[in-house]
Amino acid sequence: MKAVRQSSVKGGFSLVELLAVVVIIGILTAIAVQSYSVSENTSQAVAIQNATQVAQTINAAREIGATVVVSPSMSGEEIIALAAKGFQGRSLSLKTTINPNSDAAKWLYVRSDGIVAIKPFKEVVEK
């Protein structure tokens, strides 16, 4: 009788297969990190733009003769809430619709002369 050879069955994955999986995971991670970075930069840019809109609204209201009471102790949220209430002066009505809890609040402050301004980029990012 002929001897029947049993085929040996290997278990597990080969080194090439494992390497391919690691490379694919690395590529997907690189794409995810880049997307996160772009989205974070975009959200910061929008927050700065919103803060600028609020500051311009309050400062413009003062220029048209509206009564605007701000103090250096006001938080960014309070400044945005004040701008959201709106100002009326002469023939112009100013109002902003920025959410007081938005990231824009961390960019705003009131200078000692009462002007609403935007904080320096470095000061906000390092906190």
How far apart are the C-alpha atoms of 103 and 123, rounded to whole Å? Answer: 14
What's the predicted TM-score (pTM) here? 0.64
- Please report, for the chain, the start and end positions of each structural domain, with discontinuous segments joined by +: 18-125
The angle subtended at Cα 119 by Cα 113 and Cα 124, nearest 5°, is: 150
Per-residue exposure over 14-24, b if at least 16 CB sit within 10 Å of its own CB, e if not: eeeeeeeeeee
104 CB neighbour count, 10 Å cutoff: 26
Per the DSSP assignment, residues forming a β-bridge with 93 are 88
Answer left, alpha or beta for residue 114, where phi above 0 means left and psi between -120 and 50 means alpha. left
- What is the full per-residue pLDDT of the chain (127 aa) written as tens digits? 566 666 666 678 899 999 999 999 999 999 999 999 888 888 888 888 888 888 888 888 888 777 778 888 888 888 888 888 887 766 667 777 777 777 888 888 888 888 888 887 766 666 5
